[in-house]
Structure 1
């Protein structure tokens, strides 16, 4: 037992018996068996980085039947296309129909698996690695640590327990995952996070190059689109019990007009959350007519995870999201009273 932990519980907050069950599930599968790795729809850096980093660890152990995928349109965001292990990515329709083992990353509920959720009904054991407090424990083995800043923290711990030797390719994937879910380390205070980052950097990866590729490179059209979306932002100083809310929205017409793909909208929450007069930032992004993906951020005055859960989503106290229907104004009308009800 590690110092400072309860009997039967590791320093991560995940029970030792769950770690042991995950290791046993993986080791029970023949090296030539079909192993399917899955992350959530519209994958971000943590979902893809954790999944591919773990897949590379399994490849190092000798597994040969690895496939990684995510539901929906097979559109890997440009910043992540060069990730090591990307050769393992396949379209949803090419995912194994009856794999021997299923590993799921950064997914809080089966609904985020969309058309791939049916794979969970087979005989294969399902191991879930996640860090969302709203996780519904839908796997056979659930490695869920709400205190972890990213799913990559959980993936790294499991790789260590499997005896995988950290190399530069695995490290790059896990570092991308860690950096994206911490806002390039702006939103974490835990020394353990920086200790993990140091261990990853020690393999020889370049944090500067990764940051340039992930955070500081975007098409000209994406910059023009962002200008329009930010230009329609509205500030509501009285919202959230006087803490303030700023919100905006982006449509598919915006994307089409500037010839951009949906992933470019993911970073818009960052300049919105920087508004000094508002604790809460909201970006409403159109999926299809009448359906929206909603990103919520808080500087600490509101528990936005509680807001998201109340509206069918999930996340963390300072960052959460959900799917909504109607017009952007109607979506914000649902959010306003919940902000007042969930002041931190």
Structure 2
């Protein structure tokens, strides 16, 4: 268990879930493996207990291909099939109600709302908030909840929890004391950690390669930005990603962030639907010259309407490419 009871009060959540007659689990828009893995793991536990449960996310219309092998996908339903009223609604890996997208309105119809998250910028929008900013992933918070609840973690549940843990730690590059103990506990159920990681993080179609060529050609370095710490950024335009999955788009930031001359990395991703809407991914390192504690990109993202972790955050903005880049550089100073 990597989340301590003095940080998170699990008892209220256990009580609400134990007595729930129906549960909706809502993941954030543009879902990653942590939010989906958390949602499906909780659904598997509730289904085992005989509780009717639905899992959903507002956007996009389909689950990313890399996550379709996660156990419990049968519990996923379309947004239109999420009931307006439910006994308990659980939001997983969502720092704010806005991250629920079009499903945010379901909060009003829930008798009890539970937020399970690990984002430091979480707004505490639930009736019950299980938020541990020290946790590696939301799935690790859930592992702590299941321990307090007395619910065993079987192989399918472990698969879902491991998916969130391995992706949010960058294949265990960003860990804390207890991370590997949790991984060992999950692996001991018999899951294939290497295959799960390969499916989620290391498998791309050939079209990913020419996309990278086009996108990395837009990369620019601003070495004097943020007091000389430096910012590197790249643009992902709609025409660059035709026919590619969200996984390929989201992978770009992990390449851009390797730039040694910049303490902050950003990728601006143009909406496939609205020309002037951009989703921005921000990353920083935990130690760079001029900022030994690193740059808190969650504070920057929050100032621009988003949120996230200290070293990984994001936000959505509108405007032409030049303007959205200029706005970020101004916010960084």
Deviation of the 1:339 alpha carbon: 2.3
In 2, the alpha carbon distance for the partners of 1:299 and 1:328 equals: 25
2:65 corresponds, among 70, 78, 92, to 78
1:201 aligned residue: 187
In 2, the alpha carbon distance for the partners of 1:149 and 1:70 equals: 22
Deviation of the 1:123 alpha carbon: 4.4
1:251 corresponds, among 237, 240, 243, to 237
1:295 aligns with 2:281: yes
Contact residue 27 and residue 100 of structure 2 kept, 8 A: yes
1:36 aligns with 2:24: yes
Query: For residues 54-109 of structure 1, what are the alpha-carbon distances to aligned partners after superposition, in whole Å with 9 as ceiling and x for unaligned?
Result: 1112222232x111000123221111011000111111001122122111100111
1:94 aligned residue: 81
1:39-118 alignment runs, 5 A limit: 39-63=27-51, 65-118=52-105
Query: Mean Cα displacement is larger for which, 71-80 or 45-54?
Result: 71-80
In 2, the alpha carbon distance for the partners of 1:146 and 1:125 equals: 22
Deviation of the 1:44 alpha carbon: 0.4
1:228 corresponds, among 211, 214, 219, to 214
Instruction: Give the alignment's TM-score, normalised by structure 1.
Output: 0.90
Q: Match of 1:37, SS? A: strand
Q: Match of 1:138, SS? A: coil
Contact residue 89 and residue 110 of structure 2 kept, 8 A: no
In 2, the alpha carbon distance for the partners of 1:12 and 1:272 equals: 37
1:5 aligned residue: none
1:122-271 alignment runs, 5 A limit: 122-188=109-175, 190-256=176-242, 259-271=243-255
Q: Match of 2:58, SS? A: coil
Note the residue ranges of structure 1 that are not aligned, 5 or more in a row: 3-9
Q: Match of 1:235, SS? A: strand
Query: For residues 215-257 of structure 1, what are the alpha-carbon distances to aligned partners after superposition, in whole Å with 9 as ceiling and x for unaligned?
Result: 110111122212211121111111121121110011222222x
Q: Match of 1:333, SS? A: helix
Query: Mean Cα displacement is larger for which, 266-275 or 234-243?
Result: 234-243
In 1, the alpha carbon distance for the partners of 2:140 and 2:322 equals: 37
Contact residue 237 and residue 244 of structure 1 kept, 8 A: yes
1:19 corresponds, among 10, 34, 53, to 10
Contact residue 284 and residue 295 of structure 1 kept, 8 A: yes
Number of matched pairs: 323
Distance 1:246 1:13, change over 3 A: farther
Q: What's the C-alpha RMSD, in Å, of the aligned pairs?
A: 1.5
Deviation of the 1:282 alpha carbon: 0.3
Instruction: Give the alignment's TM-score, normalised by structure 2.
Output: 0.93
Deviation of the 1:47 alpha carbon: 0.5
In 1, the alpha carbon distance for the partners of 2:315 and 2:45 equals: 32
In 2, the alpha carbon distance for the partners of 1:154 and 1:123 equals: 22
Note the residue ranges of structure 2 that are not aligned, 5 or more in a row: 287-293
